[in-house]
């Protein structure tokens, strides 16, 4: 029953059933911990894992996989590393499921070195381990290594499936590898006989769009054998913004806002297209439309792990933290240094009807900036900061993070909704396209 509730995301029912059980064995604990991890309640999963240990209940492979997945979900490097050593001491890392989960955990913490070491030590790698490693390379911006791993996997005698191909195609599109992308799409259809899914087509639209082949991208959206969803139209719209294709962008946005009207990011993109074309009357119309429809930005939050403890920040000046005063002072100090270094707040993604100064102060309190400042004042110089953000990083925070990494000499890793940003000495691994 616990597992069934968890499968349907009903975690409160699952927990009530778990608590009411007269006796609990490792299966009930496992179902509960895995349920939490799979439904994104990673903190609760780890909490329960500790409780299970305290009660002297024996942990098995399933428990470890669920707990390690929870660490991956949280980007909890300290907790994840300690689970890795416990699993190693218990002789569990010989199981491919456990070692693959560990590879994924290190990768989701932005720690590719350890992910690669663990991956190399797996003797009986299966398709899931290879796909995990390839996706890790892609999300962390190492396209070459993703393509090499794809080749090595074939040499190893394993055939890629639809999921592996999706990773490879998105690697090609992130890196703008036009020919490689088409080569692999062809390979997928003709050599491996896989029927391409909508995800594969989306990668191809992205690839065409990034390469500036907007006409072909638009044609592909209209002719693909699926009814294009909002994400597909958004991919085209994003490309139109980068390549300043106003008319095509407007067409895409029209369909997009017809399909889904409640995602604020879509309005922001359209508004940016008008702003880039210097059409401020149209830009204002987009903002009015958004307000008339009552579209609200999802509240942003970020977490940072400092000495095995998580600090969570919500956006806005009302955030709560015991070190609030020092965090604000650190941000102010940095802001002066950044401006001396050439930083100009990028207010293009702020749609609220406020003046430029107010826009700047809205940006100042974005949750990832608060988390980074907290990390800086709470860790010794040189410590890498790892931040997880629930939304896509905005262009201002992206640029601010680059300046901060340069000024403080810190490596800052931000994992946002889509990918990782490894920022070091003023440069981000995403190449500023995310
Ligand atoms: Zn931001
Ligand atoms: Zn980046």
Average pLDDT of the residues of the chain: 91
Going from the Cα of 414 to the center of ligand 1, the distance in angstroms, rounded, reads: 12
Going from the Cα of 216 to the center of ligand 1, the distance in angstroms, rounded, reads: 32
Q: What pLDDT is attached to residue 193?
A: 92
Q: Measured between alpha carbons, how far is 71 from 277 in angstroms, rounded to an integer?
A: 45
Confirm whether 118 is domain-assigned: yes
Segment 293-351, tens digit of pLDDT: 888 777 889 999 998 788 999 998 888 999 999 999 999 999 999 999 999 988 877 76
Domain total of the chain = 2
Segment 94-123, tens digit of pLDDT: 999 999 999 999 999 989 999 999 999 999
Q: Which of 124, 147, 174 corresponds to the end of one domain?
A: 124
Range of the domain at 392: 301-428
3-state SS string for 90-153: CCHHHCHHHHHHHHHHHHHCCCHHHHHHHHHHCCCCCHHHHHHHHHHHHHCCCHHHHHHHHHHH
Q: What pLDDT is attached to residue 101?
A: 97
Going from the Cα of 422 to the center of ligand 1, the distance in angstroms, rounded, reads: 16
Percentage of residues of the chain with pLDDT beyond 90: 65
Percentage of residues of the chain with pLDDT beyond 70: 99
Confirm whether 217 is domain-assigned: no
- Helix and strand totals (H; E) in the chain: 22, 6
Q: Which of 103, 124, 145 corresponds to the end of one domain?
A: 124
Eight-class DSSP state of 418: S
Going from the Cα of 162 to the center of ligand 1, the distance in angstroms, rounded, reads: 34
Segment 369-420, tens digit of pLDDT: 999 999 999 999 999 999 999 888 988 999 999 999 999 999 999 999 878 9
Is it the case that residue 353 has pLDDT exceeding 70?
no
Going from the Cα of 210 to the center of ligand 2, the distance in angstroms, rounded, reads: 16
Eight-class DSSP state of 349: G
Q: Which ligand is nearest to the CA of 394?
A: 1
Q: What pLDDT is attached to residue 141?
A: 85
Q: What pLDDT is attached to residue 1?
A: 93
Q: Measured between alpha carbons, how far is 44 from 59 in angstroms, rounded to an integer?
A: 17
Confirm whether 189 is domain-assigned: no
Token pair, residue 303, equals: 């977490």
Confirm whether 177 is domain-assigned: no
Q: Which of 124, 157, 189 corresponds to the end of one domain?
A: 124
């Amino acid at each position: 029953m616990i597992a069934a509730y968890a499968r349907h995301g009903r975690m409160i029912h699952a927990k009530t059933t778990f608590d009411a059980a007269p006796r609990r064995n490792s299966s009930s604990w496992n179902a509960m911990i895995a349920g939490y991890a799979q439904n994104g309640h990673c903190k609760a999963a780890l909490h329960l894992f500790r409780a299970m240990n305290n009660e002297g209940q024996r942990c098995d492979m399933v428990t470890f996989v669920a707990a390690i997945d929870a660490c991956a979900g949280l980007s909890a490097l300290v907790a994840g590393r300690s689970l890795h050593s416990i699993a190693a001491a218990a002789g569990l890392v010989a199981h491919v499921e456990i070692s693959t989960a560990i590879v994924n955990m290190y990768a989701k913490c932005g720690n590719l070195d350890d992910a690669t070491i663990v991956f190399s030590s797996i003797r009986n790698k299966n398709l899931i381990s290879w796909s995990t490693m390839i996706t890790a390379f892609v999300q962390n911006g190492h396209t070459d290594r993703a393509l090499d791993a794809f080749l090595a996997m074939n040499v190893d005698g394993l055939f890629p499936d639809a999921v592996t191909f999706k990773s490879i195609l998105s690697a090609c599109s992130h890196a703008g590898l036009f020919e490689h992308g088409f080569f692999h799409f062809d390979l997928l259809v003709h050599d491996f006989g896989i029927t391409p899914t909508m995800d594969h087509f989306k990668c191809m639209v992205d690839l065409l769009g990034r390469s500036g082949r907007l006409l072909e991208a638009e044609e592909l959206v209209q002719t693909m054998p699926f009814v294009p969803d909002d994400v597909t139209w958004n991919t085209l719209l994003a490309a139109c913004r980068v390549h300043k294709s106003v008319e095509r962008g407007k067409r895409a946005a029209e369909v997009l806002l017809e399909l889904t009207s409640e995602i604020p990011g879509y309005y922001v993109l359209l508004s940016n297209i008008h702003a880039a074309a210097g059409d401020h009357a149209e830009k204002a119309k987009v903002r009015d439309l958004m307000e008339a429809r009552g579209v609200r930005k999802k509240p942003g939050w970020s977490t940072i792990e400092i000495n095995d403890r998580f600090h969570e920040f919500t956006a806005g000046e009302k955030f709560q933290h015991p070190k609030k005063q020092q965090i604000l002072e650190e941000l102010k100090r940095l802001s002066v240094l950044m401006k001396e270094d050439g930083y100009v707040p990028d207010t293009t993604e702020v749609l609220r009807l406020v003046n430029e100064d107010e826009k700047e102060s809205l940006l100042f309190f974005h949750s990832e900036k608060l988390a980074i400042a907290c990390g800086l004042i709470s860790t010794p110089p040189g410590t890498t900061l790892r931040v997880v953000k629930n939304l896509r990083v905005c262009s201002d925070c992206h640029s601010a993070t680059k300046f901060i990494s340069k000024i403080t000499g810190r490596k800052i890793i931000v994992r946002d909704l889509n990918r990782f940003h490894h920022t070091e000495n003023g440069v981000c691994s995403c190449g500023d396209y995310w």
